[in-house]
Chain A
Amino acid sequence: MPASLQHPLPGGMRDLLPEEAAQRRALAQNILRVFGVHGYALVTLPAFEFAEVLERGLGVLDPADVLRFVEPESGEVAALGPDMTPQIARLIATRLGDRPAPYRLCYEGTVLRRRSGRARKHRQIAQVGVELAGVGEPEGDLELLEVAARALVATGLERFTIDLGDAGIVRSLLPASPASIEPSAVLRALSRKDDAELSELVRGFEHADALVRLTALHGGRDAALEGVRLLADTPAASSARELLELFDAATARGFGGHLVVDLGEVRGFAYYTGPIFHVFAQGPGEAIGSGGRYDELLGRFGAPMAAAGFALDLDRLVWALQAAGRLAAKEHGVVAVAASDTRVASLRAAGVRTSVVASSDRAWEYARGWGYSHVLEGGHLVEVTTGKSFPADAGPDMDCILDWFGRKGA
């Protein structure tokens, strides 16, 4: 029996081996750097919190997806963070009250779910994200869209689509509906763009036509414009207008090329209060990131203020980058044979990954097995894949080598 079967993992959990972990780390750092230069301060959140606190701010997630346990110390039910947003909301409300608004925070972390979902959805999800509290619509939304677009560009992903919607549209159309209409069934049909089912459900309702036509209102600026026209005489008129204005403002900032709109998007309907967006790219059949405005969230933690945020799913982002052939090249590094000389020290000082092995025959196997690009043996540095050899004596040779690794970003 292979050892992997003797020590299994719970379903939906996985390890990241060195190459993948390094890739993931580099990717997250890249994104966090973009968040950082836009003023988003990194915070680290606890692995679990009291369920009662967390669940106040549970967003699009089904409460049944939360992993809970009884915390022995207090005897209270605790939950492993299923989503970072409620934790950030708690943090802003309870810890940062003495600092001036707005709050720009970012995080990198792992969220956990009780059930593994469908289609390669893991139970352990690595995310990076931002929260912007204290800036309302539309400035806050525009800022988030821009930060998201810049972060994605920084990862090397060139082709991606940000699908922009507004929860206010359906929110304002639905309450006017008679009691005979089951909102959850309407929302389900809308979220699946199932116009046949939806027509049946809303028959006779005054905004029936508008609701059914929402299923087809997606695409470029034309769709947003069409929405403004279609919804002009409904309670959703202002939301539709705001969506078009946001689209135009984003275009003016220069990232309109990535934007599409979808006026019928209702995912997370109960949670989001304004603009919502999902990021798609070729590869994973699902959104690689999503976010939106939840102006009611902070209030649930006792600090009512406008807030919005988004998170990127690192697993799916890696998948998209792989599909686009844009995943950073293999790492560099040197295996040095018994060379505890100054060259090893200078390689390390220059940030080059360097390990030392005792004998020459071990060096090659070791370099291949652990993804090192070069072997340093005697007076030569040899490239592992090609066998190309470069003189590598201390002094000018070494300066040249260090310079080369420096350019490769090792």
Chain B
Amino acid sequence: MDPPLVLALPKGRILKVLVPLFVRAGIDGAEALLVDDRTLFRDLGTLRVLLLKPDDVPTYVEYGAADLGVCGRDVLLERSIDLYQPLDLGIGRCRMVVAGVIGQNPPADFPRVATKFPRLATEHFARRGVQAEVIYVQGSVELAPLTGLADLIVDIVETGTTLAQNGLEVREEVAFISSVVVANRASYKLRQMEIGPMLTKLRAAVRPS
């Protein structure tokens, strides 16, 4: 008897969008995932769901503690995690951008850049031949250019409202972000009989034909 198939999902914002998708895909009992009863995992039939901090999802899947997961491309890119990404769910869509104070040009040489994504930021500027000093911050990235911590930021933007409220504007696109299904390499091969049909159902729910 095989252990249940383990699916790691991010708690919070994405989960709220994900659950209706799962319901459409016909995954039994998915609605219950939105009820916060503080349990760390739920069993939906033969599927075990782990509710994790979004950043932890790829870690669980990479080590094989979860067979499948849902996470943002931003996390996968930043940590250059090598997992199968067989399905783009088309949810959690946003852009990763370089932004700066409206009307203020950063120094062309050696700008300081505050970001939660130091690796992506470094790569982006290196590609453009700009030597940037990348400063890692954990949150409230918009504050950095307003306080003189940095000239620019690299951050995720959904609608741009937060940027505008803080007097910031988008300067460049770095990447387009969305949530994808990730799969452990070994699990994907060993449990294709279970994973395959589930992805088919999810794919149909993502792109209703």
Chain A nearest Cβ from B92, distance in angstroms: 13
Cβ-closest 3 pairs across A and B = A285-B64, A196-B88, A194-B85
- List residues of A (88-137) whose CB comes within 8 Å of B's CBs: 118-120
Interface pair A120/B192, CB less than 8 Å apart? no
Interface pair B196/A287, CB less than 8 Å apart? no
**Which bracket fits the contact residues of B?**
20 to 34
Contact of B196 among A192, A215, A219 (CB under 8 A): A219
Chain B nearest Cβ from A315, distance in angstroms: 14
Describe A's contact surface by its main secondary structure.
loop
Residue A284 interfacial (CB < 8 Å)? yes
Q: How far apart are the CA atoms of A282 and B81 in the complex, in Å?
A: 21
Contact of B82 among A163, A192, A282 (CB under 8 A): A192
A192-B82, A194-B85 known; A282 vs B190 contact (CB < 8 Å): yes
A119-B62, A193-B85, A194-B88 known; A284 vs B196 contact (CB < 8 Å): no
A215 to chain B: closest residue by CB: B86
Chain B residues, CB < 8 A from A283: 64
- List residues of A (266-301) whose CB comes within 8 Å of B's CBs: 278, 280-287
Residue B41 interfacial (CB < 8 Å)? no
Q: How far apart are the CA atoms of A281 and B84 in the complex, in Å?
A: 17
Q: How far apart are the CA atoms of A218 and B61 in the complex, in Å?
A: 20
Chain A nearest Cβ from B106, distance in angstroms: 28
Residue B204 interfacial (CB < 8 Å)? no
Cβ-Cβ contact count across A and B, 8 Å cutoff: 69
Contact with B along A223-261 (1 / 0, CB 8 A): 000000000000000000000000000000000000010
Residue B83 interfacial (CB < 8 Å)? yes
Given contacts A282-B2, A287-B185, 17 further A-B contacts (CB under 8 A): A119-B63, A120-B63, A191-B82, A192-B83, A194-B86, A195-B87, A196-B178, A215-B86, A216-B86, A260-B189, A278-B189, A282-B186, A283-B64, A284-B64, A285-B61, A285-B64, A286-B186
- List residues of A (149-182) whose CB comes within 8 Å of B's CBs: 161, 163
Query: Which positions in B face A, CB cutoff 8 Å?
Result: 2, 61-65, 81-88, 178, 180, 183-190, 192, 196
Chain B residues, CB < 8 A from A280: 185-186, 189-190
Can you report 29 residue pairs joining A to B where beta carbons are below 8 Å apart? Answer: A118-B62, A118-B81, A161-B190, A192-B82, A192-B83, A192-B84, A192-B85, A193-B188, A194-B88, A194-B180, A195-B86, A195-B88, A196-B180, A197-B88, A218-B192, A260-B192, A262-B189, A278-B189, A280-B189, A280-B190, A281-B190, A282-B2, A282-B186, A282-B190, A284-B64, A285-B64, A285-B184, A285-B185, A285-B186
Chain B residues, CB < 8 A from A218: 189, 192
Chain A residues, CB < 8 A from B180: 194, 196
Q: How far apart are the CA atoms of A285 and B187 in the complex, in Å?
A: 7
Chain A residues, CB < 8 A from B81: 118
Q: How far apart are the CA atoms of A287 and B187 in the complex, in Å?
A: 10
Chain B nearest Cβ from A263, distance in angstroms: 13
Q: How far apart are the CA atoms of A219 and B195 in the complex, in Å?
A: 12
Chain B residues, CB < 8 A from A278: 189
Chain B residues, CB < 8 A from A196: 87-88, 178, 180
Chain B residues, CB < 8 A from A194: 85-86, 88, 180
B83 to chain A: closest residue by CB: A192
Chain B nearest Cβ from A46, distance in angstroms: 31
Q: How far apart are the CA atoms of A286 and B108 in the complex, in Å?
A: 44
Chain A nearest Cβ from B16, distance in angstroms: 22
Interface pair B86/A193, CB less than 8 Å apart? yes
Chain A nearest Cβ from B76, distance in angstroms: 9
Interface pair B185/A286, CB less than 8 Å apart? yes
Chain B nearest Cβ from A17, distance in angstroms: 23
B59 to chain A: closest residue by CB: A119
A192-B83, A285-B185, A285-B186 known; A219 vs B192 contact (CB < 8 Å): yes
Q: How far apart are the CA atoms of A286 and B61 in the complex, in Å?
A: 11
Q: How far apart are the CA atoms of A278 and B186 in the complex, in Å?
A: 10
Chain A nearest Cβ from B198, distance in angstroms: 14
Chain B residues, CB < 8 A from A197: 85, 88
Chain A residues, CB < 8 A from B2: 282
Contact with B along A182-226 (1 / 0, CB 8 A): 000000000111111100000000000000000110110000000
Chain A nearest Cβ from B62, distance in angstroms: 5
